[in-house]
Amino acid sequence: MPPIGKNNGDPEVLLFTDGACSGNPGPGGWAFVMRHPASGKQIERSDGQRETTNNRMELTAVIRGLEALKRPSRVEVFTDSVYVGKGFSEWLPKWKANRWRRRVKGGWAEVKNEDLWRRLDELLSTHQVTFTHVRGHTGHAENERCDTLAVAAYQRYL
């Protein structure tokens, strides 16, 4: 793999994320591992909430990771969340076009987790982000690490 640099299309930052809940809703945790391959630097962060949902924690992990960046960057986000991946690639443009509403049988409904989707949308306007889906709990080292951190974050609320 060629070195990552400012002038090629490779990501400058690799962001691995995960969310977890004990019950849905229930106590939840989020975590990310961020790596800057050019410098070799890596950070890990996690936290939790007493009462939340798994989808909120998955989104929060991505948001907190992007918020940790100090300047606009090219980022590849690795997530096991189909919800986050489809939301980013398929649903978000439609929701924005429909004034943050989604179509349901017989009309319109509010977008679930709209506050988090709006924040993610703001961050996506700052950073060049691509999403890569990884299968959860299949031995992907960074995904497993994020899961461990997210579970530890919610366990203090049990």
Is 19 tagged catalytic? yes
Evaluate the omega torsion of the peptide bond into residue 25 and state whether it is cis, within 30 degrees of 0: yes
Question: Which amino acid would we find at residue 128?
Answer: Q
Residue 133 annotated to the active site: no
Out of 19, 28, 48, 65, pick the active-site residue.
Answer: 19
In the residue annotation, 65 being an active-site residue is answered as no
Would you say 76 and 130 are in contact if contact means Cβ atoms under 8 Å apart? yes
How far CA 145 is from CA of 63, 92, 152, in Å, comes to: 18, 28, 11
Strands 107-110 and 101-104: antiparallel
Is 127 catalytic? The answer is no
Query: Alpha-carbon distance 24 to 37, whole Å?
Result: 35
140 is catalytic: no
Residue 80 a catalytic site member: yes
- Considering 9, 40, 107, 137, which one is annotated as catalytic? 137
Of 28, 29, 58, 127, the catalytic one is 58
Residues marked active site are found at: 18-19, 58, 80, 137, 147
